[in-house]
Every structure is written in C-alpha cells, then in structure tokens.
C-alpha cells in the first residue's frame, strides 16, 4: 500500500470516518520524492532518535522508522491515533504521543528515548503554528542536532534572510543565533492533499554547538531583538527607547558605545551588531542600578 497516495488517504477517511481538519493545518504529503528529500536531508542514522511533529497518517514516520533507532511522534488530533496505530503496525520502534506539541516537554521525550546516536527533529509543520513551534524548540534549548521541517515558503524565506534584506526580521536573527540554516527543498503546493494556497520549503536547521556571538546576558539579546524588530520601520533610537526601561538618552549612549548609528533600523543589523548593542545594554543596566 502506498501510504502517501491520495487514494489511500480517501480509503482511510472512509474506513475510520476521519475528517481532515483545516484548523489543525492538515495538508498531507502525497509525493514520495518530497518525503524522500525530507528524510535524506535529516541525515537519520541507525543509532538516532527521531522526534516527529504532526505525523498525520504517518508518511514521514514510516520512512523515518526504517532508518532510525527510535521514532517518537507527537500528534494533537486524537482521531489520527487509531489510524497511526494501523499504518505503523509493522514498526516496533515507533511511539505516538497524543498531545499538543506546544505543551509537550520535548527535552523530556529526548532524555527518555535517546539512543546511542544523535537526535533529529523532523516534521511537515502545521502552518498555523510554524513560528511558535520553531521558537519553542530553540528557546527550550531542546537537545537536538538538527531540525528538518517543511513550512510555508514565506516563513522559510524570512528565517534564512540576510541582514539588510526586506524579509530579515526577529525570526531570522533568533533562528540564525541558534542554528546554521540550510534550505534543502522548494516544494510546490500541488504535492499536498488538500492543496494549500501557498508553496512550501524544507529547511534543515543545524543546531550550533557554539553560539556565533558572545552575549553577557542572552535574555537582553532577545529583548533587544523583540524591541528593535517589533517596530522595524522606526530608527533604533526610537524603537529601543523604553526597552528594558531605558531612556532616550540612555539608548543614545548605548548605541554610541556600541559604535552603531542611532538612525539605523534593526533590519540592517548583523548578529554581531545586535550582540554588541545587547551587551552594552547589559553593561549600562549594571552601571546604573539604583
């Protein structure tokens, strides 16, 4: 049986009385080449643990199970659980967890299921929560080696954008701080069932072993990113005033010691420049404590 074939999805729908949920972002993959590209790009080895987000009817899960030591898949839709039990019955190295991934402790899953090798996170992400899922994985510092995920092309473009480009924003700076970003495939909307309105792309985020910039206080960096890009059309002097309780004069002084023109905008800043501002902010706060 070709699990990914639209006819199989229809058979499953009929047999289990399953209705696809638009609000859960259920656009299932129907193309073997795309499935193979994702699995290949995720570089799964026999000793690896794979954590999959949103297995659907299990097309990626089954393929990952052939290469990995163990696969744990987190699926929110309880109506898919009996279906997954059936489609994955031939694999004894797969566990399905019926939970909302945003409320799941992935680090605990990793610690409980880790094999001898690496940890790979994969998924064809539900589009309505792509950014929150990626940010949660990174901010929780989930002990994974890589995150290979499909998302809307537009989000992928923002994540991989370079400073100075129109699409460079908070998500680009945040993801690039934690990961080396690689685009591994462009995926047309025609390969999904049902067909979404937009095209997709697969990114592999290789989680950095060492941070690319030195920060005195990581939380100040993220505060600076949020404030700077939150009002991206404003100059840094305007967007950072008020951040961390800093006055306009304080921001002027911080930018001057960081060697950054106050008239610049956040979207032009490299990671290194953002880090310099954040470190000067931390220093300023320490020197001006009541």
Binding footprint of ligand SAM on the chain (CB under 6 A): 24-29, 54-56, 59-60, 74-77, 80, 100-102, 124, 126, 129
Q: H/E element holding 74?
A: strand 70-75
Q: Which is nearer to ligand SAM, 77 or 273 (CB)?
A: 77
Give the helix, strand, coil percentages of the chain, each rounded to 5: 45, 15, 35
**Closer to ligand SAM by Cβ: residue 202 or 220:** 202
In the complex, the smallest distance separating the C-beta of residue 60 from ligand SAM, rounded to whole angstroms, is: 5
Nearer to ligand SAM, 31 or 157 (CB): 31
Nearest-approach distance from CB 23 to ligand SAM, in angstroms: 9
Smallest gap from Cβ 73 to ligand SAM, in A, equals 8
Question: In terms of CB distance, is 173 or 203 closer to ligand SAM?
Answer: 203
C-alpha pair distances (Å), 245 with each of 44, 217, 229, 266, 286: 46, 16, 17, 19, 13
Phi, psi of 85 (to 5 degrees): -60, -35
Q: Which residue is nearest to ligand SAM (CB)?
A: 54
Residue 214, CA atoms < 13 Å, CB-side half-sphere: 2
Q: How far is the CB of 245 from ligand SAM (least distance, A)?
A: 35
Cα–chain center distance at 217 = 23
**Which is nearer to ligand SAM, 58 or 69 (by Cβ)?**
58
d(CA 191, CA 31): 6
CB of 81 to ligand SAM, least distance (A): 11
């Amino acid at each position: 049986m070709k699990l990914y074939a639209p006819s199989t999805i229809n058979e499953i729908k009929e047999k289990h009385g399953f209705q696809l949920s638009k609000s859960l972002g259920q656009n299932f993959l129907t193309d073997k080449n795309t499935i193979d590209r994702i699995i290949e790009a995720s570089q799964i080895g026999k000793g690896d643990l794979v954590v999959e987000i949103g297995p659907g009817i299990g097309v990626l899960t089954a393929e990952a199970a052939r290469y990995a030591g163990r696969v744990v898949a987190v699926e929110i839709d309880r109506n898919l659980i009996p279906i997954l039990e059936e489609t994955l019955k031939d694999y004894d190295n797969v566990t399905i967890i019926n939970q909302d991934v945003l409320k799941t402790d992935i680090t605990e899953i990793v610690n409980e299921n880790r094999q001898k090798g690496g940890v790979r996170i994969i998924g064809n992400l539900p589009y309505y929560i792509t950014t929150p899922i990626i940010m949660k994985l990174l901010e929780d510092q989930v002990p994974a080696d890589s995150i290979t995920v499909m998302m809307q092309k537009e989000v992928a473009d923002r994540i991989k954008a370079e400073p100075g480009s129109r699409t460079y924003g908070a998500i680009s700076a945040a993801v690039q701080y934690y990961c080396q970003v690689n685009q591994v495939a462009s995926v047309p909307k025609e390969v999904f069932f049902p067909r979404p309105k937009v095209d997709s792309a697969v990114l592999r985020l290789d989680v950095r072993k060492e941070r690319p910039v030195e920060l005195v206080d990581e939380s100040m960096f993220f505060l600076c990113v949020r404030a700077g890009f939150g009002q991206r059309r404003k100059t840094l002097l305007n967007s950072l005033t008020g951040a961390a309780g800093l006055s306009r004069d304080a921001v002027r002084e911080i930018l001057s010691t960081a060697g950054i023109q106050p008239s610049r905008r956040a979207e032009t800043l490299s990671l290194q420049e953002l880090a310099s501002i954040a470190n000067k902010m931390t220093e300023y706060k320490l020197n001006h404590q009541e």
